[in-house]
Amino acid sequence: MDHFVYRPDRHDGGDHVAMHCEQLPAEEIARLAGTPCYVYSKATLLEHYQRLTAAFAPLAPLVCYSIKSCGNLSICKLLGEAGAGMDVVSGGELYRALAAGVPASRCVYAGVGKTDAEIEQALDAGLGASGLGLFNVESEEEFENIARIARRKNAVCNAALRVNPDVDPKTHRYTSTGKKESKFGVDIERAKAFFRRFGRDPHCRLCGIHLHIGSPIYTTQPYVESVQKATALIDELAAEGFTITTLDLGGGFGADYETDQSPTLAAYADAIVPLLAARVLRGLKIILEPGRTLVANAGVLLTRVLYIKTSGEKTFAICDAGMNDLLRPSLYQAFHFIWPCRTTASFAPARRAKDMAIDGLLPIDVVGPICESGDFFAVDRPLPPLRRGDLLAIYTAGAYGMAMASRYNSTPLPAEVLVDGSTLAIVRKRESYEDLIAHERSPEPVVTG
Protein backbone atom coordinates (compact mmCIF):
# COMPACT_ATOMS: atom_id res chain seq x y z
CA MET A 1 0.00 0.00 0.00
CA ASP A 2 2.69 2.49 0.97
CA HIS A 3 6.22 2.83 2.27
CA PHE A 4 5.50 3.99 5.84
CA VAL A 5 6.33 0.88 7.83
CA TYR A 6 7.35 -0.14 11.34
CA ARG A 7 10.71 -1.89 11.69
CA PRO A 8 12.71 -2.96 14.73
CA ASP A 9 14.34 0.10 16.24
CA ARG A 10 18.07 -0.27 15.74
CA HIS A 11 18.80 1.96 18.79
CA ASP A 12 17.14 -0.56 21.02
CA GLY A 13 17.55 -4.14 22.21
CA GLY A 14 14.72 -5.23 19.90
CA ASP A 15 11.87 -4.41 22.23
CA HIS A 16 10.79 -1.33 20.25
CA VAL A 17 9.67 -0.65 16.70
CA ALA A 18 10.18 2.59 14.77
CA MET A 19 8.19 3.96 11.87
CA HIS A 20 10.25 4.43 8.70
CA CYS A 21 9.49 6.30 5.54
CA GLU A 22 11.19 4.09 2.96
CA GLN A 23 14.65 3.62 4.55
CA LEU A 24 14.58 6.60 6.91
CA PRO A 25 13.35 6.46 10.52
CA ALA A 26 10.64 9.05 11.18
CA GLU A 27 12.58 10.29 14.21
CA GLU A 28 15.56 11.03 11.97
CA ILE A 29 13.32 12.93 9.54
CA ALA A 30 11.83 14.95 12.41
CA ARG A 31 15.33 15.70 13.70
CA LEU A 32 16.41 17.01 10.28
CA ALA A 33 13.22 18.83 9.26
CA GLY A 34 11.62 19.71 12.59
CA THR A 35 7.93 19.33 13.35
CA PRO A 36 5.25 19.68 12.21
CA CYS A 37 6.29 18.50 8.76
CA TYR A 38 4.75 16.71 5.83
CA VAL A 39 6.74 13.71 4.65
CA TYR A 40 6.22 12.31 1.16
CA SER A 41 7.46 8.96 -0.11
CA LYS A 42 8.63 9.08 -3.72
CA ALA A 43 8.36 5.31 -4.18
CA THR A 44 4.76 5.30 -2.93
CA LEU A 45 3.74 8.16 -5.20
CA LEU A 46 5.23 6.61 -8.31
CA GLU A 47 3.89 3.15 -7.50
CA HIS A 48 0.38 4.57 -7.20
CA TYR A 49 0.77 6.35 -10.53
CA GLN A 50 2.05 3.19 -12.21
CA ARG A 51 -0.75 1.09 -10.71
CA LEU A 52 -3.32 3.54 -12.07
CA THR A 53 -1.86 3.68 -15.58
CA ALA A 54 -1.52 -0.12 -15.66
CA ALA A 55 -5.12 -0.64 -14.53
CA PHE A 56 -6.52 1.75 -17.14
CA ALA A 57 -4.04 0.83 -19.92
CA PRO A 58 -6.79 -0.46 -22.28
CA LEU A 59 -8.18 3.10 -22.36
CA ALA A 60 -4.71 4.72 -22.77
CA PRO A 61 -5.90 7.73 -20.74
CA LEU A 62 -4.11 10.99 -20.23
CA VAL A 63 -3.77 11.07 -16.43
CA CYS A 64 -4.08 14.68 -15.33
CA TYR A 65 -2.95 14.83 -11.71
CA SER A 66 -5.27 17.03 -9.70
CA ILE A 67 -2.89 19.67 -8.37
CA LYS A 68 -5.34 20.85 -5.73
CA SER A 69 -4.70 17.68 -3.72
CA CYS A 70 -1.01 18.45 -3.19
CA GLY A 71 0.58 21.22 -5.21
CA ASN A 72 4.19 20.91 -4.10
CA LEU A 73 6.34 21.47 -7.18
CA SER A 74 8.50 18.43 -6.52
CA ILE A 75 5.43 16.18 -6.37
CA CYS A 76 4.09 17.72 -9.60
CA LYS A 77 7.50 17.33 -11.26
CA LEU A 78 7.77 13.65 -10.34
CA LEU A 79 4.35 12.94 -11.80
CA GLY A 80 4.96 15.15 -14.84
CA GLU A 81 8.20 13.30 -15.55
CA ALA A 82 6.32 10.01 -15.23
CA GLY A 83 4.01 11.20 -18.02
CA ALA A 84 1.14 12.87 -16.20
CA GLY A 85 -0.65 16.00 -17.29
CA MET A 86 -2.27 18.28 -14.71
CA ASP A 87 -5.83 19.15 -13.71
CA VAL A 88 -5.89 22.79 -12.61
CA VAL A 89 -8.66 24.99 -11.22
CA SER A 90 -7.00 28.39 -10.96
CA GLY A 91 -4.37 30.59 -12.51
CA GLY A 92 -2.12 29.71 -9.58
CA GLU A 93 -2.45 26.00 -10.25
CA LEU A 94 -1.74 26.51 -13.95
CA TYR A 95 1.33 28.51 -12.96
CA ARG A 96 2.43 25.59 -10.78
CA ALA A 97 1.88 23.07 -13.57
CA LEU A 98 3.98 25.12 -15.99
CA ALA A 99 6.65 25.71 -13.33
CA ALA A 100 6.82 21.94 -12.82
CA GLY A 101 7.58 21.58 -16.53
CA VAL A 102 4.17 20.23 -17.57
CA PRO A 103 3.08 21.87 -20.84
CA ALA A 104 -0.37 23.45 -21.15
CA SER A 105 -1.12 20.93 -23.91
CA ARG A 106 -1.37 18.35 -21.08
CA CYS A 107 -3.49 20.50 -18.76
CA VAL A 108 -7.24 20.56 -18.23
CA TYR A 109 -8.71 23.62 -16.58
CA ALA A 110 -11.93 23.34 -14.54
CA GLY A 111 -13.46 25.66 -11.92
CA VAL A 112 -16.74 27.58 -11.83
CA GLY A 113 -15.20 31.03 -11.47
CA LYS A 114 -12.41 31.51 -14.01
CA THR A 115 -11.59 35.22 -14.20
CA ASP A 116 -10.83 37.07 -17.44
CA ALA A 117 -7.19 37.32 -16.39
CA GLU A 118 -7.01 33.57 -15.73
CA ILE A 119 -8.62 32.78 -19.10
CA GLU A 120 -6.11 35.05 -20.87
CA GLN A 121 -3.24 33.45 -18.97
CA ALA A 122 -4.40 29.96 -20.02
CA LEU A 123 -4.87 30.98 -23.66
CA ASP A 124 -1.45 32.65 -23.70
CA ALA A 125 0.05 29.42 -22.35
CA GLY A 126 -1.62 27.58 -25.24
CA LEU A 127 -4.07 25.62 -23.09
CA GLY A 128 -6.56 23.85 -25.35
CA ALA A 129 -4.70 24.86 -28.51
CA SER A 130 -3.04 21.51 -29.10
CA GLY A 131 -2.69 18.09 -27.48
CA LEU A 132 -5.39 16.87 -25.12
CA GLY A 133 -5.54 20.07 -23.05
CA LEU A 134 -9.02 21.45 -22.49
CA PHE A 135 -10.97 24.18 -20.81
CA ASN A 136 -13.58 22.36 -18.74
CA VAL A 137 -16.49 24.77 -19.01
CA GLU A 138 -18.97 25.01 -16.17
CA SER A 139 -21.69 27.44 -17.38
CA GLU A 140 -23.16 29.25 -20.38
CA GLU A 141 -21.80 32.63 -19.30
CA GLU A 142 -18.34 31.20 -18.76
CA PHE A 143 -18.39 29.64 -22.24
CA GLU A 144 -19.37 32.95 -23.81
CA ASN A 145 -16.59 34.68 -21.93
CA ILE A 146 -13.89 32.19 -22.98
CA ALA A 147 -15.09 32.35 -26.60
CA ARG A 148 -15.14 36.16 -26.50
CA ILE A 149 -11.61 36.39 -25.10
CA ALA A 150 -10.32 33.76 -27.54
CA ARG A 151 -11.92 35.65 -30.46
CA ARG A 152 -10.35 38.91 -29.30
CA LYS A 153 -6.95 37.22 -29.16
CA ASN A 154 -7.59 35.49 -32.48
CA ALA A 155 -6.98 32.20 -30.66
CA VAL A 156 -8.67 28.82 -30.90
CA CYS A 157 -9.04 26.49 -27.94
CA ASN A 158 -10.69 23.15 -27.23
CA ALA A 159 -13.23 22.79 -24.46
CA ALA A 160 -15.29 20.15 -22.69
CA LEU A 161 -18.65 20.80 -21.13
CA ARG A 162 -18.80 19.74 -17.49
CA VAL A 163 -21.98 17.75 -17.05
CA ASN A 164 -23.74 16.72 -13.84
CA PRO A 165 -24.97 13.22 -14.45
CA ASP A 166 -27.17 13.50 -11.33
CA VAL A 167 -25.52 10.53 -9.67
CA ASP A 168 -25.10 10.27 -5.91
CA PRO A 169 -21.43 9.54 -5.13
CA LYS A 170 -22.37 8.78 -1.48
CA THR A 171 -19.66 10.93 -0.02
CA HIS A 172 -19.47 13.96 2.28
CA ARG A 173 -21.92 16.64 1.15
CA TYR A 174 -19.08 19.19 0.91
CA THR A 175 -17.31 17.05 -1.69
CA SER A 176 -20.31 15.71 -3.59
CA THR A 177 -20.38 17.46 -6.97
CA GLY A 178 -22.33 15.32 -9.44
CA LYS A 179 -25.88 15.92 -8.23
CA LYS A 180 -28.26 18.01 -10.28
CA GLU A 181 -28.35 20.80 -7.71
CA SER A 182 -24.55 21.18 -7.61
CA LYS A 183 -22.89 24.49 -8.48
CA PHE A 184 -20.57 22.61 -10.85
CA GLY A 185 -21.24 21.99 -14.53
CA VAL A 186 -24.69 21.86 -16.13
CA ASP A 187 -27.32 19.18 -15.79
CA ILE A 188 -27.57 16.63 -18.54
CA GLU A 189 -30.84 18.00 -19.99
CA ARG A 190 -29.25 21.43 -20.48
CA ALA A 191 -26.18 19.88 -22.09
CA LYS A 192 -27.91 19.30 -25.43
CA ALA A 193 -29.26 22.85 -25.50
CA PHE A 194 -25.75 24.02 -24.60
CA PHE A 195 -24.28 22.26 -27.63
CA ARG A 196 -27.03 23.53 -29.93
CA ARG A 197 -26.26 27.07 -28.81
CA PHE A 198 -22.47 26.97 -28.62
CA GLY A 199 -21.35 23.71 -30.26
CA ARG A 200 -20.20 25.34 -33.48
CA ASP A 201 -18.23 28.22 -32.04
CA PRO A 202 -15.04 28.61 -34.10
CA HIS A 203 -12.87 29.99 -31.25
CA CYS A 204 -13.89 27.76 -28.37
CA ARG A 205 -14.44 24.34 -29.87
CA LEU A 206 -16.72 22.16 -27.75
CA CYS A 207 -15.32 18.69 -28.32
CA GLY A 208 -15.47 17.03 -24.92
CA ILE A 209 -17.63 15.99 -22.00
CA HIS A 210 -16.27 16.38 -18.48
CA LEU A 211 -17.51 14.60 -15.38
CA HIS A 212 -16.40 14.86 -11.78
CA ILE A 213 -19.03 13.59 -9.41
CA GLY A 214 -17.32 13.81 -6.04
CA SER A 215 -14.48 12.71 -3.85
CA PRO A 216 -13.76 10.21 -2.39
CA ILE A 217 -16.07 7.65 -4.00
CA TYR A 218 -15.78 4.28 -2.32
CA THR A 219 -17.85 2.20 -4.74
CA THR A 220 -17.60 1.73 -8.47
CA GLN A 221 -21.35 2.02 -9.16
CA PRO A 222 -21.51 5.86 -9.33
CA TYR A 223 -18.79 5.77 -12.01
CA VAL A 224 -20.68 3.13 -13.97
CA GLU A 225 -23.88 5.18 -13.84
CA SER A 226 -22.24 8.44 -14.80
CA VAL A 227 -20.22 6.90 -17.66
CA GLN A 228 -23.39 5.29 -18.99
CA LYS A 229 -25.21 8.63 -18.90
CA ALA A 230 -22.26 10.39 -20.52
CA THR A 231 -21.96 7.89 -23.36
CA ALA A 232 -25.71 8.10 -24.00
CA LEU A 233 -25.31 11.88 -24.19
CA ILE A 234 -22.35 11.52 -26.57
CA ASP A 235 -24.53 9.38 -28.87
CA GLU A 236 -27.41 11.84 -28.76
CA LEU A 237 -25.05 14.68 -29.56
CA ALA A 238 -23.56 12.66 -32.43
CA ALA A 239 -27.06 12.21 -33.84
CA GLU A 240 -27.32 16.00 -33.91
CA GLY A 241 -23.97 16.31 -35.68
CA PHE A 242 -21.72 17.15 -32.71
CA THR A 243 -18.55 15.05 -32.49
CA ILE A 244 -17.21 14.39 -29.00
CA THR A 245 -13.56 13.41 -29.20
CA THR A 246 -12.72 13.44 -25.46
CA LEU A 247 -14.38 12.14 -22.32
CA ASP A 248 -12.84 13.39 -19.08
CA LEU A 249 -13.95 11.21 -16.16
CA GLY A 250 -12.63 13.51 -13.42
CA GLY A 251 -11.15 12.16 -10.20
CA GLY A 252 -12.56 10.87 -6.93
CA PHE A 253 -11.05 7.39 -6.62
CA GLY A 254 -10.73 6.50 -2.95
CA ALA A 255 -7.70 6.08 -0.74
CA ASP A 256 -7.26 3.78 2.24
CA TYR A 257 -7.62 5.95 5.32
CA GLU A 258 -8.25 2.58 6.96
CA THR A 259 -6.69 -0.62 5.66
CA ASP A 260 -8.64 -2.01 2.68
CA GLN A 261 -11.29 0.73 2.88
CA SER A 262 -11.12 1.61 -0.81
CA PRO A 263 -11.62 -0.49 -3.94
CA THR A 264 -8.30 -1.12 -5.65
CA LEU A 265 -7.48 0.89 -8.76
CA ALA A 266 -7.85 -2.36 -10.69
CA ALA A 267 -11.43 -2.69 -9.34
CA TYR A 268 -12.35 0.83 -10.52
CA ALA A 269 -10.81 0.00 -13.90
CA ASP A 270 -12.64 -3.35 -14.12
CA ALA A 271 -15.93 -1.47 -13.78
CA ILE A 272 -15.12 1.42 -16.13
CA VAL A 273 -12.93 -0.03 -18.90
CA PRO A 274 -15.56 -2.35 -20.46
CA LEU A 275 -17.93 0.62 -20.83
CA LEU A 276 -15.44 2.58 -22.90
CA ALA A 277 -12.96 0.19 -24.54
CA ALA A 278 -14.79 -0.08 -27.87
CA ARG A 279 -15.25 3.69 -28.10
CA VAL A 280 -11.54 4.20 -27.40
CA LEU A 281 -10.74 1.84 -30.29
CA ARG A 282 -12.97 4.05 -32.44
CA GLY A 283 -10.93 7.11 -31.42
CA LEU A 284 -12.44 8.50 -28.18
CA LYS A 285 -9.73 9.98 -25.91
CA ILE A 286 -10.06 9.47 -22.16
CA ILE A 287 -8.79 11.77 -19.42
CA LEU A 288 -8.60 10.92 -15.70
CA GLU A 289 -8.06 13.53 -12.96
CA PRO A 290 -6.89 11.61 -9.88
CA GLY A 291 -5.55 13.43 -6.85
CA ARG A 292 -6.22 11.66 -3.56
CA THR A 293 -5.71 8.12 -4.81
CA LEU A 294 -2.17 9.02 -5.94
CA VAL A 295 -0.93 11.21 -3.15
CA ALA A 296 -2.98 10.64 0.05
CA ASN A 297 -1.03 7.61 1.20
CA ALA A 298 2.22 8.99 -0.19
CA GLY A 299 2.28 11.47 2.70
CA VAL A 300 2.15 11.62 6.49
CA LEU A 301 2.18 14.58 8.84
CA LEU A 302 4.71 14.27 11.65
CA THR A 303 3.87 16.10 14.86
CA ARG A 304 5.40 16.19 18.33
CA VAL A 305 3.32 15.78 21.51
CA LEU A 306 3.84 18.98 23.51
CA TYR A 307 1.77 18.11 26.58
CA ILE A 308 -0.45 15.42 27.99
CA LYS A 309 -3.36 16.89 29.88
CA THR A 310 -6.28 15.37 31.77
CA SER A 311 -9.55 17.24 32.04
CA GLY A 312 -12.65 15.62 33.51
CA GLU A 313 -12.75 12.10 32.15
CA LYS A 314 -10.67 12.99 29.14
CA THR A 315 -7.01 12.74 28.27
CA PHE A 316 -5.64 15.09 25.64
CA ALA A 317 -2.41 14.83 23.70
CA ILE A 318 -1.70 18.41 22.67
CA CYS A 319 0.49 18.46 19.57
CA ASP A 320 2.54 21.05 17.72
CA ALA A 321 0.42 20.51 14.56
CA GLY A 322 -3.16 21.69 14.43
CA MET A 323 -6.10 22.34 12.14
CA ASN A 324 -3.96 25.04 10.54
CA ASP A 325 -1.68 22.26 9.24
CA LEU A 326 -4.28 19.56 8.52
CA LEU A 327 -7.86 20.77 8.27
CA ARG A 328 -9.67 17.61 7.16
CA PRO A 329 -10.70 16.29 10.61
CA SER A 330 -12.16 19.69 11.60
CA LEU A 331 -13.73 20.42 8.21
CA TYR A 332 -15.14 17.03 7.27
CA GLN A 333 -14.84 15.05 10.54
CA ALA A 334 -12.44 12.99 8.44
CA PHE A 335 -10.68 10.00 9.96
CA HIS A 336 -6.88 9.87 9.86
CA PHE A 337 -5.03 6.98 11.42
CA ILE A 338 -2.59 8.26 14.06
CA TRP A 339 0.12 6.28 15.78
CA PRO A 340 3.33 6.99 17.71
CA CYS A 341 6.42 6.63 15.55
CA ARG A 342 8.28 4.70 18.21
CA THR A 343 6.51 2.16 20.39
CA THR A 344 7.05 -1.20 22.03
CA ALA A 345 6.77 -4.13 19.64
CA SER A 346 3.49 -5.18 21.28
CA PHE A 347 1.92 -1.96 19.99
CA ALA A 348 3.20 -2.31 16.41
CA PRO A 349 0.10 -1.67 14.26
CA ALA A 350 -0.58 -4.59 11.93
CA ARG A 351 -3.19 -2.52 10.10
CA ARG A 352 -4.73 0.97 10.22
CA ALA A 353 -8.25 1.17 11.60
CA LYS A 354 -10.54 3.22 13.81
CA ASP A 355 -10.87 0.47 16.39
CA MET A 356 -7.49 -1.02 17.07
CA ALA A 357 -7.96 -4.06 19.26
CA ILE A 358 -4.63 -4.20 21.10
CA ASP A 359 -4.40 -4.71 24.88
CA GLY A 360 -3.27 -1.62 26.75
CA LEU A 361 -4.57 1.11 24.42
CA LEU A 362 -6.12 4.16 26.10
CA PRO A 363 -8.72 6.59 24.72
CA ILE A 364 -7.06 9.91 23.90
CA ASP A 365 -8.11 13.11 22.16
CA VAL A 366 -5.31 14.17 19.81
CA VAL A 367 -5.59 17.94 19.44
CA GLY A 368 -3.63 20.93 18.17
CA PRO A 369 -2.57 24.21 19.78
CA ILE A 370 -5.07 26.41 17.90
CA CYS A 371 -7.63 28.44 19.85
CA GLU A 372 -10.68 26.57 18.51
CA SER A 373 -12.56 23.66 20.08
CA GLY A 374 -12.77 22.27 16.55
CA ASP A 375 -8.99 21.92 16.46
CA PHE A 376 -8.70 18.16 16.81
CA PHE A 377 -7.29 15.23 14.87
CA ALA A 378 -8.99 12.45 16.84
CA VAL A 379 -11.52 12.12 19.65
CA ASP A 380 -11.43 9.23 22.17
CA ARG A 381 -9.01 7.38 19.91
CA PRO A 382 -7.54 4.14 21.32
CA LEU A 383 -3.78 4.75 21.33
CA PRO A 384 -0.73 3.40 23.10
CA PRO A 385 0.02 5.44 26.25
CA LEU A 386 1.60 8.73 25.14
CA ARG A 387 4.11 11.04 26.78
CA ARG A 388 5.36 14.55 26.22
CA GLY A 389 7.94 14.50 23.42
CA ASP A 390 6.50 11.51 21.56
CA LEU A 391 6.49 11.80 17.78
CA LEU A 392 3.16 10.97 16.13
CA ALA A 393 2.47 10.18 12.50
CA ILE A 394 -0.86 11.27 11.08
CA TYR A 395 -1.33 8.99 8.10
CA THR A 396 -2.91 9.43 4.68
CA ALA A 397 -2.19 13.15 4.89
CA GLY A 398 -0.61 13.66 1.47
CA ALA A 399 -3.85 14.78 -0.19
CA TYR A 400 -5.70 17.92 0.93
CA GLY A 401 -3.22 18.24 3.80
CA MET A 402 -0.60 20.87 3.03
CA ALA A 403 -2.86 22.01 0.19
CA MET A 404 -5.40 23.28 2.73
CA ALA A 405 -2.93 24.47 5.39
CA SER A 406 -3.27 28.03 6.64
CA ARG A 407 -1.43 30.46 8.87
CA TYR A 408 -4.33 30.76 11.32
CA ASN A 409 -3.15 31.93 14.75
CA SER A 410 -0.06 33.30 12.95
CA THR A 411 1.51 29.89 12.59
CA PRO A 412 4.15 29.62 9.83
CA LEU A 413 3.35 26.93 7.24
CA PRO A 414 5.11 23.63 7.98
CA ALA A 415 8.02 22.11 6.06
CA GLU A 416 7.51 19.47 3.37
CA VAL A 417 10.12 16.79 2.77
CA LEU A 418 10.50 14.16 0.07
CA VAL A 419 12.09 10.83 0.92
CA ASP A 420 13.72 8.72 -1.77
CA GLY A 421 15.16 5.53 -0.27
CA SER A 422 17.53 6.73 2.41
CA THR A 423 17.82 10.31 1.16
CA LEU A 424 15.73 13.22 2.25
CA ALA A 425 15.14 16.53 0.51
CA ILE A 426 13.40 19.55 2.00
CA VAL A 427 11.00 20.41 -0.83
CA ARG A 428 9.40 23.33 1.01
CA LYS A 429 11.19 24.96 3.85
CA ARG A 430 9.33 25.80 7.02
CA GLU A 431 8.10 29.38 6.96
CA SER A 432 9.60 31.90 9.35
CA TYR A 433 7.96 34.65 11.37
CA GLU A 434 9.36 37.09 8.78
CA ASP A 435 7.39 35.19 6.12
CA LEU A 436 4.23 35.73 8.15
CA ILE A 437 4.39 39.50 7.75
CA ALA A 438 6.35 39.73 4.50
CA HIS A 439 3.43 41.08 2.44
CA GLU A 440 2.15 43.55 5.02
CA ARG A 441 2.82 47.26 4.69
CA SER A 442 2.21 50.28 6.83
CA PRO A 443 -0.87 52.08 5.51
CA GLU A 444 0.08 54.27 2.57
CA PRO A 445 -2.69 55.63 0.35
CA VAL A 446 -2.46 54.20 -3.16
CA VAL A 447 -4.89 56.61 -4.77
CA THR A 448 -4.46 60.30 -4.05
CA GLY A 449 -6.36 63.43 -4.98
Q: Which residues make up the interface to ligand PLP (CB under 6 A)?
A: 66, 68-69, 87, 110, 212, 215-216, 250-253, 289-293, 399
**Nearest Cα to 165, choosing from 222, 237, 94?**
222
Of 68 and 328, CB closest to ligand PLP: 68
Q: What is the DSSP letter of 436?
A: H
Of 177 and 411, CB closest to ligand PLP: 177
Alpha carbon distance 60, 285 (integer Å): 8
| DSSP states along 87-136 | EE-SHHHHHHHHHTT--GGGEEE--TT--HHHHHHHHHHTTTTSTT-EEE
Rg (CA), the chain: 23
| DSSP states along 197-210 | HHTT-SSEEEEEEE
- Closest contact distance (angstroms) between CB of 287 and ligand PLP is 10
Chain-centroid distance of CA 78 in Å reads 15
Close Cβ partners of 242 (under 8 Å, ≥ 6 residues apart): 195, 199, 206
H helix or E strand, kind and range, residue 30: helix 26-33
Of 111 and 368, CB closest to ligand PLP: 111
- Closest contact distance (angstroms) between CB of 312 and ligand PLP is 38
Of 121 and 293, CB closest to ligand PLP: 293
- Closest contact distance (angstroms) between CB of 286 and ligand PLP is 14
Close Cβ partners of 307 (under 8 Å, ≥ 6 residues apart): 316, 317, 318, 388
H helix or E strand, kind and range, residue 271: helix 265-281
Which of 225-246 are b and which e, b meaning 16 or more Cβ less than 10 Å from the residue's Cβ?
bbbebbbebbeebeeeebebeb
**Helices and strands (H and E) in the chain: how many:** 12, 22
- Closest contact distance (angstroms) between CB of 294 and ligand PLP is 8
Of 66 and 246, CB closest to ligand PLP: 66
Chain-centroid distance of CA 80 in Å reads 15
Of 255 and 424, CB closest to ligand PLP: 255
Of 198 and 400, CB closest to ligand PLP: 400
- Closest contact distance (angstroms) between CB of 400 and ligand PLP is 7
Alpha carbon distance 264, 362 (integer Å): 32
Close Cβ partners of 376 (under 8 Å, ≥ 6 residues apart): 323, 329, 330, 365, 366, 367, 368
- Closest contact distance (angstroms) between CB of 354 and ligand PLP is 21
Alpha carbon distance 160, 247 (integer Å): 8
Alpha carbon distance 221, 198 (integer Å): 32
- Closest contact distance (angstroms) between CB of 16 and ligand PLP is 36
Of 41 and 69, CB closest to ligand PLP: 69
- Closest contact distance (angstroms) between CB of 222 and ligand PLP is 12
- Catalytic annotation, residues: 371
